Structure 1
Amino acid sequence: MTTQRLTPYPRQQLAAQPIGYWTGAAHREVVGRIRKELATESLTQPHWWILNHVAASPAHWTRAELAAKLTRYDDQGIDFTEVFADLAGRGWTTEDATGTLTLTEAGEAGRIRAKERNLRAHEQTHAGITEEEYVATLDVLRRVIANLGGDSDLPE
């Protein structure tokens, strides 16, 4: 995996850069790559979130509970009703009499395929970045968010 070579800039010039621009640019690139990988399986991020939550806690989530939890992460106005219906229509999820969701074997297989694609995107994103640098970056971003009154806790 090859990483692009960065143009070096003086520290003072970098320090004057607007964080809003750079966090937005990073968001577009990272999320765009993830969405591209998921699209190969005709999945959206909400599909991915649902699959992972249901896999992590089988027979725990109902559609309403999971949609309420995941809506805060959606930036595209996704209709979760349609996403749940799509997963059920594919035969990837089932619901018991109480409406509790479980992944089927096909759903777990699809989740694993998407996970493998996302891992490749994750590896490319982290190329040339040490764990220490990554953690420091996240800590700085969390402080920026907290300074502005936002929720800087880790997502569940």
Structure 2
Amino acid sequence: MTSGQMPSRPIGWWLKQADAHLDAAFDRSLEGRPVDRRGWQVLASLAKCPTSRSELVASLAIFDSPSAVDAVVRDLRSRGWVEESAGVLRLTSNGELEHAALAPLVAGVRARVAEALPQDDYVTLVQLLQRLVEAV
């Protein structure tokens, strides 16, 4: 396809393909590890800031149902990586270690995205997707 030429497939197809390829890249990167992309998202969210279960579920609602997020939290708690006290979820010291061990793997996926989309293109793409979401 040359610049300015209409893509052969509609935008929805490309969005689904991009998401599927990102999921597959995370799956390959985290293969053999005890968590998947959703587990990573919970660990990363809690590494940024301890939060209530309802706030965590709300922040990840675009990715999964509340019951699915709860299942991930239960799994991470059973591993001793997440604890809940006074209604607040936080990483344990073992959870912090696991987060630190997984971070370079996730960074590798992000680096491949950055290679495919230089910073200016990435920013433009995200801005265009944001406009699309806001418009429909």
> Does TM, normalized by the shorter one, top 0.5?
yes
| Unaligned residue ranges in structure 1 (runs of 5+) | 1-8, 149-156
Match of 2:45, SS? helix
The corresponding residue for 2:71 is: 82
Task: Give CA-to-partner distance per residue, 1:72-118, whole Å, 9 cap, x none.
Answer: 3227x86233211211111111222x132221121011111221101
Structure 1 position 42 matched with structure 2 position 42: no
Question: What is the TM-score with the length of structure 2 in the denominator?
Answer: 0.83
Would you tell me which structure has more helix in proportion to its own residues? Answer: 2
How far residue 65 of structure 1 moved from its aligned partner, in angstroms, is 3.3
Give the number of aligned pairs: 136
The corresponding residue for 2:83 is: 94
Task: Give CA-to-partner distance per residue, 1:12-47, whole Å, 9 cap, x none.
Answer: 544564111212211111122123323432213332
The corresponding residue for 1:113 is: 101
Between the aligned residues of both structures, percent identity stands at 25
Instruction: Give me the CA root mean square deviation.
Output: 2.3
Alignment check: 8 A CA contact 1:37 1:114 kept? no
Match of 1:72, SS? coil
Alignment check: 8 A CA contact 2:26 2:36 kept? no
Q: Check 1:118–1:10 CA distance in 2 against 1; reply closer, same or farther (3 A cut).
A: same
Question: What is the TM-score with the length of structure 1 in the denominator?
Answer: 0.74
Q: Distance in 2 between matches of 1:56 and 1:12?
A: 41
